[in-house]
Structure 1
Amino acid sequence: MFGRTKLHPFIRANPPHADCAPATKDLLGRYEGQLPAALLELWRKHGLGLYGRRQICLIDPQAWQSTLDRWIVSPPSATVRVPIALTPFGTLLFYRKLTASDEDVAALNPVTRSISILSWDLADLFNKILSDPSQADEFIQPAMLETAQQQAGTLALGEAYHVDPMLLSMQMLKITRTNALALHQKLRAQVDHEQAPPAPPPDSIRAALPTNYRESFKDMERKDGQPSGLYLSTYIDWRRLVGLDADGNYRLLFWKNDHKTGEASGIRHYSGRYRVLDTEEGDCLLRLDLVFTGKSLGSDADDDGLYLMRSGGQPLLLQAARLEDMATAIGGRATMGSSEHYFQPVRLDDPFPVENSDGMDAPPFEDLPAALQALVHREPLRATIIEVGADNDPEDSTVMVWVDLGKNDGLRMNMPLMSPKDSPRALYGWVWQMDPERCGVGIKVRRDAAGAIVNGPEPGDVLVSRAD
């Protein structure tokens, strides 16, 4: 078989693409003695680039060496790892010359952060694992590759397919083409980020703000008798700052601070006019003229209507769209509920507030806007279980029941219901199914070793919205 390269089976199964470029003499000379002669011959005759329908890419080790060294940190005396190829989904193949006669080729998957030995012989890797369909199709799955090509098209040199992990977790498959080297660097940076210690909390609200927006809020200070000023809402990592001036202009900023670096991200900014409306109930309602953009989230609209209330001499802004949620929290546990539903007054140099995602204590009932007062059940609702659902799953931690109250009686979605304080029962759950007259409630249950419910809900059990 005179004239054929040692890796001819690989070439026959994976013909080089037209844009493959033969390696330069300098590159061949640099890796002579470090890489097998068969691979250097392939570089010289057919070149670096994409091969075959599987789009296996032979790469310049120099371009990838620093990235591989970031993934695998080794002492100077360790065996040198040389990156040699890339699969269409970004798995990096690297070669090691273990001894004068021993070698191996391994695969580094940047998504799963795993390394596996593929072969103890480079020629076998190319001529068998990457060429024999029974082996190659297991390593590079044809169905996934076909889907990637349909969604994103054929790869260009230096690209890899990337599966969106967030959508995949929701059982949705979205595949895009991206720069392979940048993808590796991004995924490796995520590892560094995860291993980094938490950043110290910002020492002020000004310090937490995205740098480019600090100046735009500096002149929006509170004035007595006016809704003007700065108001902050925090919920887990998310922050929202609304600034109102006395002339009817507003600024609304959404962002979050990375808990490892403190850097601001996820920034969305709105500005425009706001109106102060007096409602028929005697409340003060602010209407923000929000103009949405391609970056907007649907929940941003919850801030276009804000009730202004005062308690203890301090103003608060309450989301008009979330009054029912606040009413449920006030009636059930005397808090304002999720801290994302209201804004508290601040100044830029104030210390950044301590997170309280479950909500601040509710102000006195008399201070609440009339629209919110009308929704609060000052006396706890009292419901009776009239039906218990079938228990078909011994691993389920809840069981559905139905009660004799419904939406018409004041029950709301996710409203907590529990056994009365003086009851020998200890039931607890939430409204999960709405109905005008008989809502469904998910009750937490405890099971024994056999999976049977212990002291579970029964028809006739009483549940209340607040266990006084």
Structure 2
Amino acid sequence: MPDPIAVQQFIDTFPPDAGARVPSDDFLTYGEGRLPSAVLELWRTHGLGWYGGGRVALVDPGTWMPTLQTWFGSAVGSIPFAVTSFGHVYHYDQVDGHDRIQCLDPHFQHNAVVSEDGTTFFTDHLTGSNSHPADLRELHKAAVGAQGELGADEIFYFEPILALGGQVNLDNLAKGNGPEHVSDIHQRIAASRQQ
């Protein structure tokens, strides 16, 4: 395990919200060998749930795995472990023995590698100025003001969806079940392409 100080910059920037809860020993055991040690350290010390006033959540991979399967197929090898308040899904795997953390941006149909190390993902990427949480800071505040705080596994989104011509506008803002909505985006895009 890394020294807890290794991810302190993340905790300083995104302190755990009151609802964050440390998962069971069985849950933690499941994560060992499957996820980066930085994720496990955060699970053990602060838990699953929202961080930074509801801007980033550490999530139960089992809840979000069907979403990745919808996007990438049932054989997808990466594991979802974090999401933003607007449904960007961070997922982890290894390629040729090297760590890889990717971000699925469902709104703009994009998936990209954002880090090759768990600790730097938390301390450099998420806390950096070029991350989704940084880009969406003011929009997140406005969304909370308009819709209230997010519950577990909820996200903010826009209707109509951005990928089908929707606009980023508080009048179009909604919130709801994150895994269902992110999956729904993919299904609606696929259906529109068949028309």
Q: Same fold (TM over 0.5)?
A: yes
Deviation of residue 24 (structure 1)? 1.3
Amino acid of the structure 1 residue aligned with 2:44:
R
- Counterpart-to-counterpart distance in 1, 2:53 and 2:5: 20
Select 2:136's aligned residue among 138, 141, 145. Answer: 141
For residues 253-402 of structure 1, the aligned pairs below 5 Å read none
For residues 19-38 of structure 1, the aligned pairs below 5 Å read 19-38=19-38
- Counterpart-to-counterpart distance in 2, 1:179 and 1:65: 14
- Counterpart-to-counterpart distance in 1, 2:3 and 2:41: 11
Deviation of residue 169 (structure 1)? 4.6
- Bigger share in helix: 2
Deviations 1:61-99 (A, max 9, x none): 01111220120127x5x7x20001110101111011223
For residues 5-404 of structure 1, the aligned pairs below 5 Å read 5-53=5-53, 55-73=55-73, 76=75, 80-100=77-97, 102-132=98-128, 134-136=129-131, 139-165=134-160, 169=166, 172-173=169-170, 174-196=172-194
Deviation of residue 162 (structure 1)? 0.8
Question: Measured at CA, do residues 7 and 184 of structure 1 come closer, stay the same or move farther in structure 2, by a change above 3 Å?
Answer: same
Deviations 1:349-403 (A, max 9, x none): xxxxxxxxxxxxxxxxxxxxxxxxxxxxxxxxxxxxxxxxxxxxxxxxxxxxxxx
Cα contact 2:57–2:82 (8 A) shared by 1: yes
CA RMSD of superposed structures (Å): 2.6
Cα contact 1:159–1:177 (8 A) shared by 2: yes
Deviations 1:200-241 (A, max 9, x none): xxxxxxxxxxxxxxxxxxxxxxxxxxxxxxxxxxxxxxxxxx
Cα contact 1:128–1:135 (8 A) shared by 2: no
- Counterpart-to-counterpart distance in 1, 2:36 and 2:142: 35
Deviation of residue 166 (structure 1)? 6.8
Question: Measured at CA, do residues 5 and 62 of structure 1 come closer, stay the same or move farther in structure 2, by a change above 3 Å?
Answer: farther
Question: Measured at CA, do residues 23 and 56 of structure 1 come closer, stay the same or move farther in structure 2, by a change above 3 Å?
Answer: same
User: Unaligned 5+ residue runs, structure 2?
Assistant: none
Question: Measured at CA, do residues 169 and 136 of structure 1 come closer, stay the same or move farther in structure 2, by a change above 3 Å?
Answer: closer
Deviation of residue 143 (structure 1)? 2.3
Structure 2 counterpart SS, 1:17: coil
Aligned length: 191
Deviation of residue 164 (structure 1)? 2.2
Amino acid of the structure 1 residue aligned with 2:84:
T
Cα contact 1:54–1:140 (8 A) shared by 2: no
Amino acid of the structure 1 residue aligned with 2:130:
Q
> Larger C-alpha radius of gyration, 1 or 2?
1
Deviation of residue 53 (structure 1)? 3.0
Deviation of residue 32 (structure 1)? 1.1
Structure 2 counterpart SS, 1:50: strand
Amino acid of the structure 1 residue aligned with 2:35:
L
Deviation of residue 193 (structure 1)? 2.4
Question: Measured at CA, do residues 151 and 109 of structure 1 come closer, stay the same or move farther in structure 2, by a change above 3 Å?
Answer: same
Deviations 1:397-439 (A, max 9, x none): xxxxxxxxxxxxxxxxxxxxxxxxxxxxxxxxxxxxxxxxxxx
Deviations 1:282-319 (A, max 9, x none): xxxxxxxxxxxxxxxxxxxxxxxxxxxxxxxxxxxxxx
User: Unaligned 5+ residue runs, structure 1?
Assistant: 199-468
Structure 2 counterpart SS, 1:40: helix
- Counterpart-to-counterpart distance in 2, 1:131 and 1:94: 17
Question: Measured at CA, do residues 170 and 192 of structure 1 come closer, stay the same or move farther in structure 2, by a change above 3 Å?
Answer: closer
Question: Measured at CA, do residues 14 and 194 of structure 1 come closer, stay the same or move farther in structure 2, by a change above 3 Å?
Answer: same
- Counterpart-to-counterpart distance in 2, 1:166 and 1:185: 12
Cα contact 2:4–2:41 (8 A) shared by 1: no
